[in-house]
C-alpha cells in the first residue's frame, strides 16, 4: 500500500483529478464529480461512480462538479472530494500526514488560492504547496524550466487554457482563459440544439469531440451517429453529424484560444520570443488533443507547435516532479523559513 514516502502531487482539474505519489507515479485518475442527495445534502458518490450518474439521476440526486473553470465553486464539496481521493490513495487511516503539492490555474486569485490550500489542509495534509499549472505542465513535458531560455507552454484543460512563457524556473508572462475542453462540449450541445432542435448530454458532446472533433473545417472528414432527445416531440432521435459541423460549432472558442496564444507571444521579450521561434510551442492538457489544433496554431503563429508526449497526464506528472522542489514555488515556505 502506501510507503514511507508521503509526498503527493494533486492535479486538481475541472474535469479530472489526478493523484501522483512519489516513487509510484500516477495512482489515481478520476472525474471531478460528486453526486449529492439534494434533500439532505449527503454525498452519495465521488469520482468515476458519480460521473456515471450524470444525466441519469432521479430529481433528488444531483451530480455536481465542485470546480468550475479551475476554481472552487463549492468549497465544502471540494474539501470532501480531496479528502476522499487522499484517503483512497493513502488508505483510510494514514500513519503519516502527507505533504501535498497541488496544481492551480495561473489566473487563480489569492482568495481562491487560500481556499484550495485550506481545503487540502482540512482534508489531512501536513503541508500544502501550490504550483501554477503552466510550470507543472512544463515539468511534466520534460522541459528544463531552470535554464535561461524561453519555452512556451499551452495547457488546455477542462476548465481553463493556460498560456505561459517560462524561463529560469519562473513564469515570465502568462494568460489564463476560461475557454477549454468543457467549453468545446458546451458549444457542441448548443450547436446540435440550434441546428437540429435536439438535446444531447455532456457525455455525448464529449464523445463527439473526441471521435470527430476538429480545430478547423478541413482538418478531417468524419461522420458519427448520435442520439438525443427531439425537443419538439420529446422522443429519442438519431442524427448523423460530421467533423466540419463540429469545427464550425467550436470555431469561436478555438479562435479565443489562438488569440490568447498570439497575445502572450506579442508581450514576450524579443530574446525569449526568438527562443520560442527556434524551439516551438509545447501543447499539453486533454483539450490540446482536439484534432488539428497544433497545425492550426502553427498556421496562425508561424511557430511549430507539438503535443507533449503524454498531454493528459503532463500536469500531474509535473506536479509530482515538483515535489522535489518543495519550498521553491511558494512564498509561504520562504515566510516560514524567515520566522
> 40 pLDDT band (50/70/90 cuts)?
confident
CA distance 245 to 31: 28
- pLDDT for residue 53: 79
All three cell numbers of 250:
467550436
- Closest among 19, 104, 8 to 326, alpha carbons compared: 8
Q: Give me the mean pLDDT over the 134-139 stretch.
A: 94
All three cell numbers of 37:
442527495
- pLDDT for residue 319: 93
CATH superfamily of 7-135+316-338: ATPase, nucleotide binding domain (3.30.420.40)
The ranges assigned to domains in the chain are 7-135+316-338, 148-178+260-310, 181-251
CA distance 227 to 196: 12
Question: How many Å from the N-terminal Cα to the C-terminal Cα in the chain?
Answer: 37
Q: Give the position of cell 472533433.
A: 213
CATH superfamily of 148-178+260-310: ATPase, nucleotide binding domain (3.30.420.40)
Asked if pLDDT for residue 60 goes beyond 50, the answer is yes
Q: What b-and-e string marks burial along 313-331, b requiring 16 or more CB atoms within 10 Å of the CB?
A: bbbbbbbbbbbebbeebbe
> 327 pLDDT band (50/70/90 cuts)?
low
Q: Among the ranges 19-23, 159-163, 289-293, 318-322, which has the highest mean pLDDT value?
A: 289-293
Compute CA distances 26 → 70, 140, 289, whole Å.
20, 12, 20
- pLDDT for residue 4: 44
- pLDDT for residue 94: 57
Write a three-state SS string for the chain.
CCCCCCEEEEEECCCEEEEEECCCEEEEEEECCEEEECCCCCEEEECHHHHCCCCCCCCCEEEECCEECCEECCHHHHHHHHHHHHHHHHCCCCCCCCEEEEEECCCCCHHHHHHHHHHHHHCCCCEEEEEEHHHHHHHHCCCCCCCCCCEEEEEECCCCEEEEEEECCEEEEEEEECCCHHHHHHHHHHHHHHHHCEECCHHHHHHHHHHHCCCCCCCCCCEEEEEEEECCCCCEEEEEEEHHHHHHHCHHHHHHHHHHHHHHHHCCCHHHHHHHHHHCEEEECHHHHCCCHHHHHHHHHCCCEEECCCCCCHHHHHHHHHHHHCCCCCHHHHHHHHC
At 269-302, the pLDDT tens digits run: 999 999 999 999 999 999 999 999 999 999 999 9
Check: CATH 3.40.50.300 for 181-251? no
All three cell numbers of 206:
464529449
Q: How crowded is the C-beta side of 81, counted as CA atoms within 13 Å? A: 37
- Closest among 23, 4, 174 to 95, alpha carbons compared: 4
At 64-91, the pLDDT tens digits run: 888 877 677 888 888 889 889 988 888 7
CA distance 134 to 145: 11
- pLDDT for residue 225: 97
At 165-218, the pLDDT tens digits run: 999 989 999 999 989 999 999 999 999 999 999 999 988 999 999 999 999 999
148-178+260-310 and 7-135+316-338 share a CATH fold: yes
Amino acid at each position: 500500500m502506501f510507503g514511507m514516502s508521503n509526498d503527493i502531487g494533486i492535479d486538481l482539474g475541472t474535469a479530472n483529478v489526478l493523484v501522483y505519489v512519489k516513487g509510484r507515479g500516477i495512482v489515481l485518475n478520476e472525474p471531478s464529480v460528486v453526486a449529492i442527495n439534494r434533500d439532505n445534502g449527503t454525498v452519495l458518490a465521488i469520482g468515476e461512480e458519480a460521473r456515471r450518474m450524470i444525466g441519469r439521476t432521479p430529481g433528488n440526486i444531483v451530480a455536481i462538479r465542485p470546480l468550475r473553470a479551475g476554481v472552487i465553486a463549492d468549497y465544502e464539496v471540494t474539501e470532501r472530494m480531496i479528502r476522499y481521493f487522499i484517503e483512497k490513495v493513502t488508505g483510510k487511516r494514514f500513519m503519516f500526514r502527507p505533504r501535498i503539492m497541488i496544481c492551480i490555474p495561473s489566473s487563480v486569485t489569492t482568495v481562491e488560492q487560500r481556499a484550495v490550500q485550506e481545503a487540502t489542509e482540512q482534508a489531512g495534509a501536513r503541508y500544502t504547496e501550490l504550483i501554477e499549472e503552466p510550470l507543472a505542465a512544463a515539468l511534466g513535458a520534460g522541459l528544463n524550466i531552470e535554464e535561461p531560455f524561453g519555452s512556451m507552454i499551452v495547457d488546455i484543460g477542462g476548465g481553463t487554457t493556460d498560456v505561459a512563457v517560462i524561463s529560469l524556473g519562473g513564469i515570465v508572462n502568462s494568460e489564463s482563459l476560461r475557454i477549454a475542453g468543457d467549453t468545446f462540449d458546451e458549444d457542441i450541445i448548443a450547436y446540435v440544439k440550434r441546428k437540429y432542435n435536439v438535446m444531447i448530454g455532456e457525455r455525448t458532446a464529449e464523445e463527439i469531440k473526441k471521435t470527430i472533433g476538429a480545430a478547423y473545417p478541413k482538418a478531417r472528414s468524419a461522420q458519427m451517429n448520435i442520439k438525443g432527445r427531439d425537443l419538439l416531440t420529446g422522443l429519442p432521435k438519431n442524427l448523423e453529424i460530421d467533423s466540419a459541423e463540429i469545427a464550425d460549432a467550436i470555431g469561436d472558442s478555438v479562435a479565443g484560444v489562438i488569440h490568447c496564444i498570439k497575445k502572450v507571444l506579442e508581450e514576450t521579450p524579443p530574446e525569449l520570443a526568438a527562443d520560442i521561434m527556434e524551439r516551438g510551442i509545447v501543447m499539453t492538457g486533454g483539450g490540446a488533443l482536439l484534432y488539428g489544433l497544433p497545425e492550426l496554431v502553427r498556421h496562425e503563429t508561424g511557430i511549430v507547435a507539438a503535443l507533449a508526449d503524454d498531454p493528459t497526464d503532463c500536469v500531474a506528472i509535473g506536479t509530482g516532479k515538483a515535489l522535489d522542489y518543495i519550498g521553491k514555488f511558494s512564498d509561504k515556505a520562504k515566510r516560514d523559513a524567515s520566522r
